[in-house]
Amino acid sequence: MVQQVITHVRRNIALGIAVASVAAVTLLAPVHGSAQQSWLRRATLKCEEAGGTLTTPGSGVIFECAFPPSINVLDILGTPLVDHTLLHICFGPARGNGFGPDVLENAVDCFE
């Protein structure tokens, strides 16, 4: 009888740990993913509104908003879309350490 109670208690504890683990993973994973998707989507939209194409090239660059030859990146710096919105996204949710023009790529970059 005592052995059955101990077995039952152990099974309930194991089940409780499993349920808590699944709940923790379910609750925590989407928050990080959706937060990242939110700033990336916002940066993509603002870059496209300014006439550029947003990419996430890596190698120390969080995101890059590259412009076609018809738009000079130096001419658009200072506009609300690029200078304020993308700058805010870079230093805010993207957690960048640097933001600025890449004249050779005709782009603005957010650096790690």
> Which tens digits make up the pLDDT trace of 60-87?
999 999 999 999 999 988 888 888 999 9
Rounded to an integer, the average pLDDT of 46-67 is 95
Looking at residue 26, its pLDDT comes to 35
> Which residue range(s) make up the domain with 93?
2-111
How far is residue 110's CA from residue 98's CA, in Å, rounded to a whole number?
A: 6
Structure pTM? 0.66
HSE (side-chain half, CA atoms, 13 Å) at 58: 0
Q: How many domains in the chain? A: 1
Per the prediction, the chain carries an average pLDDT of 79
Pairing between β-strand 61-66 and β-strand 107-111 as defined by DSSP bridges: antiparallel
